[in-house]
Structure 1
């Protein structure tokens, strides 16, 4: 057995002032619970957690002050992860003395799969981009910071609307709670899917999301408008996507004509009514598949008339693989 696989992974959360607490506290708790579960099995802990910063004290996004933070490491003995997290606000400032020190420190690191790896959560990807670490790599960040990431490093291949992206030795997540999804995935890679599921259950994480899942739920998409009538129709369709919906039936809910309802959808939701319906049905089918339903049963529960219609929608909206492949991933 590789001696490195027996050594605990040193996980260094590199924090600046006003770091988003949930960005680092959620993943850190997942790692702590994983260690706890391993001890209960009579196995060694796999993760050694540290909190480092350019300064010994730091104030968090919610005003809690952290004291006794370690200096940013300069020596690496054995496998390690560096975790970068976000800060509140629509943009991330890299002009502060602390940010400059952190970026300079990142530029001196040599990331290598299985040795020294980088995990970014939310706008932590911006810090990595300014350090040049994301050049030539695929990465994501919170949807509010996607354009900022493009401007920070034009050579980074940005993946939008994704929970997290794997491009070893770099792993990036969309933001806030997606850091938990990313760390659960990494726990599963290192310690097995059963342990990751146990950690998720302990944390009461309702659904573990993977690297192919969208950042934004389809049930929340196309809802960023203030049109009450359209919201009423969307509520009805969301509650019963398997119903025998048509544009005229939706129009009855809105008490308007089918033509006017279509105009409302396009103008306020940015999508046609039947396209919106198919997206919801596809999301319902994915949830059914993740719960163990067969492709036939998932199609039935979500309102698709047949397996063929489900497969057609699956490929139409650019999902990877197929419904059958999704089932196979679950049973492995």
Structure 2
């Protein structure tokens, strides 16, 4: 019998807890009793804890009374994970991890592990909207921005919210084989392996800075005229700069090269058209500035891991 413990704290995301726990619970329907997952919840406080959606949850016992060994110790995300500090939890976690075979986080639960010093030297991930914050907060961790979940030695971390289900299915597949994980996925009406990673959910471009500078003026012109042809030289001319100076300032201010910006802008434009219209692929490619469906398809596969048609099917 394998034990899975989920640590709860005020303002945790209920689905981060319930999704993975349901995977293990459904797996128990297919397993012999001696192979069941034993599910335990541990709370940072005695009594009930309020989730971020307002529901109350009663943990099995507080962390301060816990000294058990677990096969898997998990931390959910939620506003409490990245907005609050729980010193007692941060002090308890390193010892608890030493007693666990594996440990991990769902979504922004990675911030709790980071504050406990448990991400340093590991490859990890979190919800796409918080990867930059995780990178800045824990520079000794190697943060992957696109994967649904990441396994590195005894640590497993997942992307946002429902990615915890993907992660739990991977754990079941490792523990009991792919066939059982597939059976669980069918019961839950989810796929075993998603097409593409987290990038398909996140915009490739951040919002253009509000300041009026030569760089932002060039950016805004490109965004408003994506169907035109561009080179770095042309974008530099829009900013009234030399090509070399423009490229250097652009990379410094935007954290990508001018051509990377152009490519990402075109992909984001195409994604919006695919999500909100029934325009033919040729029209989408033209309006986004790709010039051809083939070029658009190639860049979608490279950046998002799926074709424009697959993207439209999943998000329209």
TM-score by length of 1: 0.64
Structure with the largest fraction of helix = 2
Give the superposition deviation at 1:222.
5.5
Give the superposition deviation at 1:36.
1.0
**Residue 65 of structure 2 is aligned to residue 63 of structure 1:** no
Residue number in structure 2 paired with 1:81: 72
Structure-to-structure mapping, 1:113-128, within 5 angstroms:
115-128=100-113
Q: CA RMSD in A?
A: 3.7
Partner SS for 1:108 = helix
Kindly tell me: are residues 121 and 110 of structure 1, through their superposed partners in 2, closer, same or farther at Cα, counting changes over 3 Å? closer
Residue number in structure 2 paired with 1:108: 95
**Residue 19 of structure 2 is aligned to residue 26 of structure 1:** yes
Give the superposition deviation at 1:286.
11
Give the superposition deviation at 1:71.
1.5
**Deviation per residue, 1:151-202 (Å, 9 max, x gap):** 3321101111110000021000011000000000010011110000000000
Residue number in structure 1 paired with 2:31: 38
Give the superposition deviation at 1:124.
0.5
Paired with 2:272 and 2:105, the residues of 1 have a C-alpha distance of 38
Kindly tell me: are residues 82 and 236 of structure 1, through their superposed partners in 2, closer, same or farther at Cα, counting changes over 3 Å? closer
Report if the CA contact (8 A) 1:83-1:120 is conserved. yes
Residue number in structure 1 paired with 2:199: 216
Moved over 4 A (4+): 220-227, 229-233, 236-241, 271-275
Give the superposition deviation at 1:272.
10
Kindly tell me: are residues 68 and 187 of structure 1, through their superposed partners in 2, closer, same or farther at Cα, counting changes over 3 Å? closer
Partner SS for 2:171 = helix
Report if the CA contact (8 A) 1:185-1:196 is conserved. yes
Kindly tell me: are residues 111 and 145 of structure 1, through their superposed partners in 2, closer, same or farther at Cα, counting changes over 3 Å? farther
Report if the CA contact (8 A) 2:4-2:37 is conserved. yes
Residue number in structure 1 paired with 2:183: 198
Give the superposition deviation at 1:223.
9.3
Report if the CA contact (8 A) 2:274-2:308 is conserved. no
Indicate which of 295, 299, 302 corresponds to 1:279.
299
Paired with 1:224 and 1:273, the residues of 2 have a C-alpha distance of 25
**Residue 1 of structure 2 is aligned to residue 14 of structure 1:** no
Kindly tell me: are residues 116 and 76 of structure 1, through their superposed partners in 2, closer, same or farther at Cα, counting changes over 3 Å? farther
Q: How many residues align?
A: 247
Give the superposition deviation at 1:146.
1.3
Give the superposition deviation at 1:102.
1.1
Report if the CA contact (8 A) 2:274-2:284 is conserved. no
Paired with 2:92 and 2:59, the residues of 1 have a C-alpha distance of 19
Give the superposition deviation at 1:44.
2.8
**Deviation per residue, 1:13-65 (Å, 9 max, x gap):** 001111101101010001000011114xxx53331101111212200111111
